[in-house]
Structure 1
Amino acid sequence: MTAKASIAADGPSEPKGRGRATKALSHNLNGQRLGRKGRDTRERILAATNELLAGPVDVEISLSAVARQASLGMTSLYNYFSDLTELLLAVLEPVMATAEADYVGLLRTRWSEEELGEKALAFVTAYHGFWVKHSRLLHLRNNMADRQNERMMLHRVHAAQPVMRLLVDQMDGGSEEAGSPVFSMGTALMTGLERVVTVTTDMALQNILHSPHPLARTHLLRAEARLMELGIRDYRAMLRDTRA
């Protein structure tokens, strides 16, 4: 079973209140304030989830599997997480907190024309490295989003938005409105980037395609970086001419 096929339906997938994850840090789902034991139990559940994510890809990621890994009963686990989505969102929270240092920050300084190709490749490589570190978790999120899990869809979009906004800034389109051609280009570049790293970090797909060779991944990353470079150059020139 692949990572994508190992998602189990452990409860409802309808959207929940966005404040629940924050509340869970101080209260369980029964509204009881978490003491030291409760906080330790919650951290134990998160640690067990991370252990499963780091393990063999044919091991199912489900609430029942997490409960077994944490040596807890399902009733105890449901005191902290109502379904698999809520649990994975809690695991994603500290992961996404590292995005700024791992790759987003590379976009915050305007890339000069002379170093545009080099900077684009460095950014694409860093984004790929982030996916390598958290591959199974990010693949699970995207697979659940593709299955119309609204909370995972929102997480995926919110994670991409800072990159799209900063790509627009790199194209000198900071004052442009959302929905404009430059915003569409930023969206297209981010969509292509995510798709490339999804393919290059999906080992099951690589094995099916008989192309697990690292050099093939390098070529794809360089191709994506080149497209990013050309897109930024093109829109810088276009906007410069428009504003002249």
Structure 2
Amino acid sequence: METEAPTNKQGQILGRKGRETRARLMEATRLLLRTCSPVELTAVGIAAEAGTSPASFYMYFDDPKDVLFALGEEAGRDLAKLRKIFEEPWYRDKLERQAGAMIEGLNAVWARHRPALRFRNTEASRGDKRFEALRMNTFTPFIRDFAECILSVNPARGARKRADAFAEASILHGAMEHLAATSPDATDRYLGAKHVNRQLARIMALVIRGEAEADALGREAPADETIKPARVATRRLRASVANGTASPAMESAIKPLRKARPQRNVSPAG
């Protein structure tokens, strides 16, 4: 994807050749990021990978960090395209599927731009105002659209405020971005990306539906399951030990419970 830059560092308007050279330097940086950290990048190394000179590099960028900023801008344009998902109505009975589609879309953009986006977020967290603005320019419109989507399903009424939906959108976006930033290889070594994303979509659907519906679902459960979950779990554990189906670990867990059980006072036979 070609990034538009009207002028070079000397203020000259870029022609076709200039735009091609700048794009080639950015592509060279992307290739280098497959095998090295952003902090290891050098102008000389990028120029060599692009097949040009260091002097040519400085015609278009101040330093490697400047190239990473340009790559972050490019990633931001791809992220902005995800907001199209909010142009369609969201339905209560399809929330999990629609949330799953949004997660997949965000993951796909991160897969294409992960090193640049990670660097963007790191520099923003370190207080670099330029990278902070770059992140917020993507973050703010997405959160606004996402919050309006949540409000279309779960409107602000009674104690619920519009600000609640914006907070929910921010938290859910943070969870999506954190998981998208994680290498899929790392996720697959544990639970697996598909399983994690499926559960994240389920949690998002529950949040978007709202407290009223979650409370209604809770009231449908048996009283002791809802009000006294610890007591129910203990009763089931003791039953497993009694009928011989408990594992050694369960046997170990029940011992403290046996000691804690109050003993009845039995009067000696007269």
Q: Look up the match of 2:75.
A: 95
Structure with the bigger RCO (C-alpha within 8 Å, sep 6+) is: 1
Please tell me whether residue 185 in structure 1 is matched to residue 168 in structure 2: yes
| Structure-2 change in CA distance of 1:33 and 1:107 (3 Å) | closer
8 A contact 2:124–2:131 mirrored in 1: yes
Three-state SS of the structure 1 residue aligned to 2:151 is coil
Three-state SS of the structure 2 residue aligned to 1:134 is helix
1:84 to 48, 64, 70: 64
Larger radius of gyration: 2
Q: Look up the match of 1:136.
A: 115
1:48 to 14, 17, 28: 28
8 A contact 2:90–2:149 mirrored in 1: yes
2:203 to 227, 230, 235: 227
Amino acid at match of 2:119: L
Three-state SS of the structure 2 residue aligned to 1:32 is coil
Shift of 1:52: 1.9
Q: Look up the match of 2:14.
A: 34
| Unmatched tracts of structure 2, length 5 or more | 215-270
> Residue deviations 1:126-177, cap 9 Å, x none?
211221222222222222223322222222222222321122112226997x
| Structure-2 change in CA distance of 1:218 and 1:231 (3 Å) | same
TM-score calculated relative to the size of structure 2: 0.65
Please tell me whether residue 122 in structure 1 is matched to residue 101 in structure 2: yes
Shift of 1:47: 2.4
Shift of 1:75: 2.9
Higher share of residues assigned helix: 2
Amino acid at match of 2:110: W
Three-state SS of the structure 2 residue aligned to 1:125 is helix
CA distance in 2, matches of 1:220, 1:113: 22
| Structure-2 change in CA distance of 1:43 and 1:124 (3 Å) | closer
How many residues align? The count is: 206
TM-score calculated relative to the size of structure 1: 0.71
CA distance in 2, matches of 1:75, 1:182: 50
8 A contact 2:80–2:142 mirrored in 1: no
Shift of 1:230: 1.2
What fraction of aligned residue pairs are identical, expressed as a percent? Answer: 26
Amino acid at match of 2:192: A
Amino acid at match of 1:79: M
Amino acid at match of 2:20: D
1:197 to 172, 177, 180: 180
Shift of 1:218: 1.9
Q: Look up the match of 2:188.
A: 212
Task: Supply the RMSD in Å over aligned alpha carbons.
Answer: 3.1
